[in-house]
């Protein structure tokens, strides 16, 4: 229980506009985009400086209150779920602090929206490469915490390949600057550890990231197939031919129908699947590569390969892809988006399996995903007001993740473990592996006040002194 005295102290730190207390105000923060689990925080704080975040975290420590960092709440694994306690929302810390073209660096606050980074440098011919499909709303801090990917990270690498340094409020309230502008920092690769730590190592307040030169030109193709297997076989053929497209995405028939209902772009709603293939590079070489890709699509029975002829046509293709999951709102009131990874060559088999799992549980499952890197996103459509549907969604999701692991894949590619998959992480790691990982977490977060209850199966605990103290077996 957060007392009124503590709330007054929070107000003193961040001002009255920066504190939300009471169910009517905190309800909107009761989940992220994983809507199966909901639980509002007791209090939300919206700081505007690193020093305010540090003061809030010190107060939380003094009072023993758990706290959860949050960006835009677009996470798909319940990572920003608060279970009471304090939610520290970084959305007011959204400034681009520096664009350094000579060193090709951007420094931004953690609450900056992903797309703003590219917008800040696009005029000079640069971009920020990691582009989650949620990039119009997700924040840099959330991207760092989840090691986010996106369509164009097939060629350019995911968030961890672009972050050089962070300013971070540690779980005890101290402020640390880790990494920085140098390419080759000395010592342990702490940035590599922090990126992808799902908000359990502290609250990131700023990050220094690379900016990337915009390619000279693009060719964006839409290849239309009668079956999913033809589309997914094409994916492996393109990579085997030595071509790494900037992006190689797949949308199945259900997604095509949802997108068409939403945007009326003229997509073939009777197709089994389409591939969105973007090539980028030098004007001199790109048409030759586009011809090679077209030939590979035709070899796999593509019934049509469309080339975007104008910038508007290219934009429409990307709107369709990036808003594909949102468009499923036309088909069902709720959806859960899964995130398994498998070797690319197993895509045809796994997509068949997903269809079988959907039939077994009486659920519609759409597929829209980063096919080039084998990162599946089965989108299970349902109505969250019906508890029986919710049960079937959870069971079907579990079967899909198990199938990914048994195909030599993983339970997450880019959305993290959060609360959604903490029971499934054991499919991939031994108890000893998990214990080592928990020890790393405890080195950063010894009292486990920072984003507790995430990543690790609830039954697993590491018996450190601080952990035992927290449970009352030792004096604090
Ligand atoms: C329609 C849709 C499409 C998506 N497409 C993609 C995609 O293509 N690729 C992809 O990788 N993801 C995708 N996502 C998932 C999601 O957008 C990303 O995980 C994103 O990085 C989350 O950012 P956020 O600001 O919303 O973070 P939140 O959801 O608020 O938080 C996510 C996690 O980060 C932690 N966190 C947030 N901010 C901080 C901070 N400042 N310091 C420390 N920890 C912090 C939280 O505690 C939580 O654990 C998609 C989501 C949706 C809804």
Please tell me the distance from the alpha carbon of residue 75 to that of residue 67, in angstroms, as a whole number: 17
Mutation pick for ligand 1 pocket among 34, 41, 47, 76 (CB with most ligand atoms within 8 Å): 76
Q: Report how far ligand 1's centroid is from the alpha carbon of 54 (Å).
A: 22
Q: Report how far ligand 1's centroid is from the alpha carbon of 225 (Å).
A: 32
Query: Could you tell me if 20 and 65 are in contact, meaning their C-beta atoms sit under 8 angstroms apart?
Result: no
Mean pLDDT of 136-156: 97
Q: Report how far ligand 1's centroid is from the alpha carbon of 90 (Å).
A: 12
Query: Could you tell me if 114 and 85 are in contact, meaning their C-beta atoms sit under 8 angstroms apart?
Result: no
- The pLDDT value recorded for residue 207 is 98
Q: Report how far ligand 1's centroid is from the alpha carbon of 76 (Å).
A: 7
Q: Report how far ligand 1's centroid is from the alpha carbon of 144 (Å).
A: 8
Mean pLDDT of 151-167: 96
What value, to the nearest 5°, has the Cα angle with vertex 87 and ends 440 and 106?
A: 70
Task: List the alpha helices (DSSP H) in 247-384.
Answer: 253-263, 283-299, 311-322, 324-327, 347-361
In the predicted model, is pLDDT for residue 463 greater than 90?
Answer: no
- The pLDDT value recorded for residue 461 is 37
Least confident of 228-242, 251-265, 448-462: 448-462
1-214 sits in which CATH class?
Answer: alpha beta
| pLDDT one-digit tens code per residue, 80-133 | 999 899 999 999 999 999 999 999 999 999 999 999 999 999 999 999 999 999
Please tell me the distance from the alpha carbon of residue 188 to that of residue 397, in angstroms, as a whole number: 36
Ligand 1 atom at minimum distance from 323 CA: 1
Q: Report how far ligand 1's centroid is from the alpha carbon of 418 (Å).
A: 11
- The pLDDT value recorded for residue 103 is 95
Ligand 1 atom at minimum distance from 33 CA: 53
Map residue 335 onto helix, strand or coil: strand
Instruction: Tell me, letter by letter, the H, E, C secondary structure of 90-156.
Output: CCCCCCEEEEECCCCEEEEECCCEHHHHHHHHHHHCEECCCCCCCCCCCEHHHHHHHCCCCCCHHHH
Mutation pick for ligand 1 pocket among 29, 53, 131, 141 (CB with most ligand atoms within 8 Å): 141
Phi, psi of 226 (to 5 degrees): -80, -30
Ligand 1 atom at minimum distance from 131 CA: 8
CATH topology of domain 332-406: Alpha-Beta Plaits (3.30.70)
Which of left, alpha, beta for 73 (phi over 0: left; psi -120 to 50: alpha)?
Answer: left
Global confidence as pTM: 0.94
| pLDDT one-digit tens code per residue, 244-266 | 999 999 999 999 999 999 999 99
Which H or E run includes 249?
A: strand 247-252
Computed over every residue of the chain, the mean pLDDT equals 93
pLDDT band at 186 (very low <50, low <70, confident <90, very high): confident
- The pLDDT value recorded for residue 476 is 32
Phi, psi of 394 (to 5 degrees): -65, -45
Pocket of ligand 1 (CB under 6 A): 32-33, 68-76, 79-80, 90, 110, 132-134, 138-139, 141-143, 145-146, 148-150, 198-199, 203-204, 325-326, 414-415, 451
| pLDDT one-digit tens code per residue, 365-399 | 999 999 999 999 999 999 999 999 999 999 999 99
- In the chain, where are the structural domains located? 1-214, 217-326, 332-406
Phi, psi of 36 (to 5 degrees): -70, -35
pLDDT band at 466 (very low <50, low <70, confident <90, very high): very low
> Whose Cα sits closest to atom 11 in ligand 1?
148
Ligand 1 atom at minimum distance from 144 CA: 21
Please tell me the distance from the alpha carbon of residue 320 to that of residue 265, in angstroms, as a whole number: 8
Pairing of strands 340-341, 375-376: antiparallel
Are 217-326 and 332-406 in the same CATH fold? yes
In the predicted model, is pLDDT for residue 51 greater than 70?
Answer: yes
Nearest to 6 by CA among 51, 46, 49, 45: 45
Ligand 1 atom at minimum distance from 68 CA: 47
Q: Report how far ligand 1's centroid is from the alpha carbon of 461 (Å).
A: 26
Token pair for residue 172? 């005890």
Query: Could you tell me if 324 and 370 are in contact, meaning their C-beta atoms sit under 8 angstroms apart?
Result: no
Query: Could you tell me if 304 and 242 are in contact, meaning their C-beta atoms sit under 8 angstroms apart?
Result: no
Map residue 12 onto helix, strand or coil: helix
Ligand 1 atom at minimum distance from 201 CA: 43
Please tell me the distance from the alpha carbon of residue 217 to that of residue 277, in angstroms, as a whole number: 14
> Whose Cα sits closest to atom 16 in ligand 1?
75
- The pLDDT value recorded for residue 458 is 64
Token pair for residue 75? 């996470």
Nearest to 455 by CA among 423, 433, 429: 423
Q: Report how far ligand 1's centroid is from the alpha carbon of 198 (Å).
A: 9
- The pLDDT value recorded for residue 276 is 97
Q: Report how far ligand 1's centroid is from the alpha carbon of 242 (Å).
A: 32
Ligand 1 atom at minimum distance from 325 CA: 1
In the predicted model, is pLDDT for residue 462 greater than 60?
Answer: no
User: The CATH number of 217-326 is which of 3.30.450.20, 3.40.50.2020, 3.30.1360.30, 3.30.70.3450?
Assistant: 3.30.70.3450
């Amino acid at each position: 229980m957060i007392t009124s005295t503590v709330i007054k102290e929070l107000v003193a730190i961040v001002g009255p506009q920066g504190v939300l207390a009471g169910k009517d105000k905190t309800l909107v923060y009761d989940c992220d985009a994983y809507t199966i689990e909901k639980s509002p925080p007791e209090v939300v704080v919206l700081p505007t400086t690193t020093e305010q975040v540090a003061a809030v975290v010190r107060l939380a420590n003094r009072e023993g209150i758990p706290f959860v960092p949050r960006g835009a709440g677009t996470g798909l694994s319940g990572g920003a779920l608060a279970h009471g306690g304090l939610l520290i929302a970084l959305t007011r810390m959204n400034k681009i602090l520096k664009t350094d073209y000579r060193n090709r660096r951007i420094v931004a606050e953690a609450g900056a929206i992903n797309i703003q980074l590219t917008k800040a440098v696009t005029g000079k011919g640069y971009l920020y490469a990691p582009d989650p499909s949620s990039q119009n709303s997700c924040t840099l801090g959330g991207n760092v915490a989840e090691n986010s990917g996106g369509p164009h990270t097939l060629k350019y690498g995911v968030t961890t390949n672009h972050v050089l340094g962070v300013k971070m409020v540690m779980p005890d309230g101290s402020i640390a600057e880790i990494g920085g502008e140098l390419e080759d920092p000395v010592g342990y690769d702490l940035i590599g550890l922090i990126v992808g730590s799902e908000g359990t190592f502290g609250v990131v307040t700023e990050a220094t990231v690379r900016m990337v030169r915009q390619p000279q030109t693009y060719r964006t193709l839409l290849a239309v197939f009668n079956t999913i297997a033809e589309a997914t076989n094409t994916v492996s053929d393109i990579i085997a031919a030595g071509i790494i497209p900037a992006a190689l995405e797949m949308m199945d028939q259900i997604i095509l129908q949802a997108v068409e209902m939403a945007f009326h772009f003229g997509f073939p709603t009777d197709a089994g699947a389409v591939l969105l293939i973007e090539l980028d590079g030098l004007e001199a070489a790109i048409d030759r590569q586009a011809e090679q890709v077209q030939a590979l699509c035709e070899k796999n029975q593509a019934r049509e390969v469309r080339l975007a002829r104008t910038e508007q046509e290219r934009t429409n293709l990307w709107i369709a892809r990036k808003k594909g999951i949102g468009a499923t709102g036309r088909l069902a009131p709720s959806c859960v988006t899964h995130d398994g990874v498998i070797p690319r060559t197993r895509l045809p088999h796994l997509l068949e399996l997903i269809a079988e799992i959907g039939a077994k549980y009486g659920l519609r499952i759409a597929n829209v995903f980063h096919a080039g890197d084998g990162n599946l996103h089965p989108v299970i459509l349902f109505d969250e007001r019906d508890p029986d549907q919710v049960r079937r969604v959870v069971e079907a999701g579990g079967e899909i993740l198990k199938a990914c692991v048994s195909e030599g894949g993983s339970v997450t590619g880019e959305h993290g473990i959060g609360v959604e998959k903490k029971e499934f992480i054991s499919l991939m790691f031994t108890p000893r592996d998990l214990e080592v990982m928990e020890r790393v977490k405890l080195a950063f977060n010894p009292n486990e006040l920072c984003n507790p209850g995430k990543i690790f199966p609830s039954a697993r605990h590491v018996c450190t002194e601080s952990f035992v103290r927290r449970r009352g077996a030792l004096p604090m």
